Amino acid sequence: MLAVAEASEAPSGAVWFINYLNAEFERLDDSARAWGQVPSSRPSRFVVVETAGGTQLTPVTYAVRLLVSSWETTTPKAERLAARVNALAQAAPRQVVGGVQCRAFESAGLPYDMPDPDAKVPRFRQNIVLHFRGQLL
Partner 1 sequence: MAKSKIKLNSSEVRRVLKSREVQADLVSRAERVAAVAGSGFEVRTNIGPNRARAAVVAVSSKAQRAEAKSGALSKALDAGRG
Q: For residues 8 and 11, give the distance between their C-alpha atoms in angstroms, rounded to a whole number.
A: 9
Applying CB under 8 A, the site for partner 1 has a residue count of 14
Does the footprint of partner 1 cover residue 116 (CB under 8 A)? yes
Helices (H), 12-108: 13-27, 75-90
Binding status of residue 87 toward partner 1 by CB under 8 A? no
CB of 26 to partner 1, least distance (A): 27
- Least separation in angstroms between CB 107 and partner 1: 14
Helices (H) and strands (E) in the chain, counts: 2, 9
Sequence-distant (≥ 6) Cβ neighbours of residue 132 within 8 angstroms: 10, 11, 13, 16, 61, 62, 64, 100, 101, 102, 103
Is 125 near partner 1 (CB under 8 A)? yes
- Compare residues 12 and 115 and give the one whose CB is closer to partner 1: 115
Quick one: 85 or 97, whose CB is closer to partner 1?
85
- Which residue of 55, 73, 74, 90 would you call a contact of partner 1, by CB under 8 A? 55
